[in-house]
Amino acid sequence: MMSEFVFCTGQYDSGDWDSAPVLPANIIDSIARYTSIAVAPSGVNIPLGSDAIFEYPFVYLTGHLPFRFSEAERRNARKLVDRGGMLFIDDHNHDVGGVFHNTAMEELTRSFSKPVDLPNDHDIYRCFFKFDDGPPTTSHELNGWGDNLVHKNLQAVMQGERIGVLYSSKDYSSEWNYDPDAKRFSTVDNTRFGVNIIVYALTR
Amino acid sequence: MTALDRVRRTQRVLGATVIARSLMWGIAITSAMLGLSSFVDARGLSATIVVVSVLAGVVVAAAMLWQSRRFASVSRVALWIEEHVPTLHYSLVTALEQGQSPFTAGMDATIARHDISATTTRAVRRHLLPATAVLVIAVLLLYVSPSGVLGRSGAIAGMGRLGGAAGIPAGSRLDDIGVRITAPAYAGGRTTNLDDPSTVAGLTGSTIAIRGNGSADGLTATQPAPLRISPAGRGWSISLTMPAKPTAITLRDRSYERIIVLAPVADEPPKIALTSPRRDTTLRTPRLVVPLNANVSDDIGLTSGYFEYLITTGSGEIFKARTVNTPVVHFDGARSSTLSATLDLGSLKLGEGDVLSMRAIAQDGNTVSGPGIATSDTRTIRIARAGEYDSLAIEAAAPLPLDTSAVSQRMLIAMTEKLVAEQPKLSREELVKRATDIGNQEDGIRRRVQQILTEAEGAGEDVAEPKPGDQPATVEEMESPDVISGAKNPDLKAAYTALWQAVRSLKIAEPSPALPPMRVALAALDRARLANRLYLRGAPPKIVVNIERVRMTGKDKGSSSVRTPRSFADSARVDLSRRFYAMVDLLEKDPARALTELALMRVQALQMIPGFAAALGEVSDAIRAGRDATPALLRARRALEAPPEVRPLSQWSGG
């Protein structure tokens, strides 16, 4: 029997894992709006170090502060990816020289392997909506704060042909962190790429 | 009067009767054939039908004459009289044959007692009455035929043409018309000639001259107001101006009718696109030189263009606005061009919170309904207020190429590294210039850090915020790190010290020694930035998404009444669809009416569904040329009805 998808935000001991509290609801709204995936109406926050994390095939991690896994978190993260799950880590600072980026890169290299640039014609950009130019640009990338750069690629730790860990410097955590009711004021829904990430995580 | 005289007189009467009867039958046959043909094909009588009809009449008349050739002989006429007056007992024939006989006088007396004239008159009446009746019926048939051949002299005209009679065409004067379209002067006044068109397309305001053959008498033209038809040489002409909306000219020549559709082509206003600046942005200081560029194009020709700035100052509900235009650029009728200018924000004396809106404007040379004016998108540059630096919500906006005020410490490090790499190839002057530029920008960061530090120490009033137009400080003017207290923020103090060292090295054109303190400053600024942030940990808000509402499946409890589909909202399209199918039915029964309906539908469709109007034109042309109109009709139907909707199954639907 197929259970409904539950959006899971991973709690980690270091940093501010809850810096984008409205994002899960927004992505849940988009999944309900565009797909026929059975989806739970609210997300859950699960400690990455607990075994409960294995009930969720997709785990979202974000923050501004130094990013370090505890031993239990590192062990569970590896096990989750090995079992076919997917981690999505987004730099809420959108700053490639920032503390979150630097520490997250170190942690991912230590826990998995060094993330590599994900080609912009990867399946994740076509699995539901089509993004011909790769990851959609966020409004926070070029507004004079952060690293002032438009990041051409996402990065990933590959698990065979599949993405095990998806890493973003684009600050989708700021871009999508608004109440879903506000979508009706947008000409183009900027959370569509979030749907692609979920669809990819659930089908590959 | 002798017997011979009586016979000759009868022979003349009978001869005339035979000739008259033959002619009447011949004309009747010709008329009947023309009339019936026009019933079959109301588009008009072709030359072939006219020839065949006339030949048939001639053959019938000749046959009847041949059949009555016996009246050429006197003896045969005498026998005819004997046959109709039996009481003569061959005395007439005998008198003719025995003219020298002594009994001739007696025979003449006997003949004189009989009334041969009355008999001849009865015979003439008997022969001519049926012929006259048939002729009258045939002529009436011709008169009431759809093309009205007789009364409107159509058939006669056809015959006239066959006979090579030049001059006024006796048939329809609406065939073989020519149309000359002269574009308005501003569009170059180009002239186009069309032969026998059903549709006349041209720029609104074009002069249209329609010319035809024959006299102008009796011709009418409406649009729908009556148009004046003037004699022109051996023909007629109508002159009018292309209206702004599609319409039809109805030409009438007796019972002939012809509709010409006028399809105006509107002069499009110019198209203009602002290519620089590409995005809206917000600046911290109004020090920027903005290149303004716009691409302009027009379907006919451009005349002029310029940039317009609107500067809005104020806040709350009190605003002041002033508009400034750049000098007008003349394009002299070019169809595409570019508009360029440079805007120095410093010259506009902008202050905090001011908003500068800019756009490009161009116009064409339309003197008929214009000029067409186009305006580009508006770009906005806003000068931020000092207190909103940490809370600005700015839409995605790329920094302008010269927006140095937003350059970050990281970018300055990159620029310095590049300068160090290129240093061996640079002249001393170039090195000094580039190092000083970087040093000035680094000094801006130093001054901002100094301000934050002094505010934190409670001495903010002693340091002024950098203002637009301020000159960068010299090395001697820079406040020494020794006088800056960092008790409350040691990271910022370390950053200030490093920045001070970096600025000093850069301003004496020594970029290499400047790099280490620049990196130290960056690290210290990062530490200070993070240290100042407070993240209050707590349970994040639990937001429950109403999935049913999002999927629009939650509130519908069903309906007790049967829902019926609503009528097609596009009533004009429905009306056209109904008329289209009625016209298709008419094509078989009444082609002339169908053609008229086609033209009227085109007028209605030209503005609503141009594709449908074009397809109707093809139908009309095909019918007039005698080609198969089925493909054109199919195209028209496809254009009229919405294309089939393709709905692929969602991969989530299980399909």
**Tens-place pLDDT, residues B365-423:** 888 877 888 888 778 787 877 655 444 443 333 333 323 333 467 778 878 888 999 99
Count of beta carbons in the 10 Å neighbourhood of residue B559: 7
Nearest CA in chain B to A137: B396
The pLDDT value recorded for residue B543 is 82
Angle at B574 between CA B570 and CA B578, to 5 degrees: 175
Contacts of A25 in chain B (CB under 8 A): 543-545
Sequence-separated (6 or more) residues with CB below 8 Å from residue B625: none
Report the distance separating Cα B514 and Cα B516, nearest Å.
6
Sequence-separated (6 or more) residues with CB below 8 Å from residue B557: none
Between A196 and B268, name the one with better pLDDT: A196
- B163 in Cβ contact with B345 (< 8 Å): no
Q: Is the pLDDT of residue A52 over 90?
A: yes
Torsion angles phi and psi, residue B257, rounded to 5: -140, 140
Contacts of B526 in chain A (CB under 8 A): 97-99
Count of CB pairs separated by less than 8 Å, A with B: 82
Q: Indicate the average pLDDT of chain A.
A: 90
- A198 in Cβ contact with A140 (< 8 Å): no
Across the interface, of A21, A99, A144, the residue whose CB is closest to B540 is A21
| pTM of the predicted model as reported, rounded to 2 decimal places | 0.39
Between A38 and B163, name the one with better pLDDT: A38
Across the interface, of B398, B530, B540, the residue whose CB is closest to A142 is B398
Report the distance separating Cα B272 and Cα B306, nearest Å.
11
| C-alpha radius of gyration, chain A, whole number | 16
Nearest CA distance, B284 vs chain A (angstrom):
10
Q: Are strands B235-241 and B207-213 parallel, antiparallel or unpaired?
A: antiparallel
Measured between its terminal Cα atoms, the distance across chain A in Å is 19
Nearest CA distance, A82 vs chain B (angstrom):
26
> E strands within B108-228?
178-182, 191-195, 199-203, 207-213, 219-222
| C-alpha radius of gyration, chain B, whole number | 50
Report the distance separating Cα B498 and Cα B481, nearest Å.
9
Which token pair is A174?
A: 């700021």
Count of beta carbons in the 10 Å neighbourhood of residue B650: 11
Across the interface, of B410, B535, B545, the residue whose CB is closest to A147 is B410
Go through A163-197 and write b for each residue having 16 or more CB atoms within 10 A of its CB, e for each that does not: bbbbbbbbbbbbbbbbebeebeeeeebbbbbbbbb
Which range, A93-107, A134-148, B506-520, is most confident?
A: B506-520
SS3 for B37? helix
Report the distance separating Cα B521 and Cα B413, nearest Å.
10
Q: Mean per-residue pLDDT for A106-126?
A: 94
The pLDDT value recorded for residue B315 is 57
Q: Which residue has 């805007």 as its token pair?
A: B343
* H-assigned helices in A36-176: 71-82, 99-111, 172-175
Q: At residue A179, what is the residue type?
A: D
Contacts of A41 in chain B (CB under 8 A): 544-547
Residues B653, A139: C-beta atoms closer than 8 Å:
no
Which token pair is B318?
A: 């009190």
pLDDT means per 10 residues, chain B with 655 residues, are 81 89 90 80 68 90 88 84 82 76 74 82 88 88 64 46 44 83 87 87 90 84 86 87 88 82 88 85 81 91 89 63 84 90 86 82 86 81 67 38 45 84 90 89 83 63 48 59 66 88 92 92 76 52 83 66 60 84 87 86 85 88 84 88 64 52
Between B451 and A119, name the one with better pLDDT: A119
- A180 in Cβ contact with A18 (< 8 Å): no
Torsion angles phi and psi, residue B295, rounded to 5: -95, 130
Closest CA to B247 of B580, B610, B602: B602
Across the interface, of B282, B397, B546, the residue whose CB is closest to A41 is B546
**B154 beta partners:** none
Report the distance separating Cα B604 and Cα A114, nearest Å.
68
Report the distance separating Cα A90 and Cα A59, nearest Å.
11
Report the distance separating Cα B98 and Cα B105, nearest Å.
11
Mutation site, A148, A176, A183, interface B, largest B CB count within 10 A = A148
Instruction: Give the least confident one: A4-8, A165-169, B82-86, B461-465.
Output: B461-465
Sequence-separated (6 or more) residues with CB below 8 Å from residue B253: B152, B172, B173, B174, B214, B218, B219
Report the distance separating Cα A71 and Cα A170, nearest Å.
28
**B330 beta partners:** B304
Nearest CA distance, A119 vs chain B (angstrom):
24
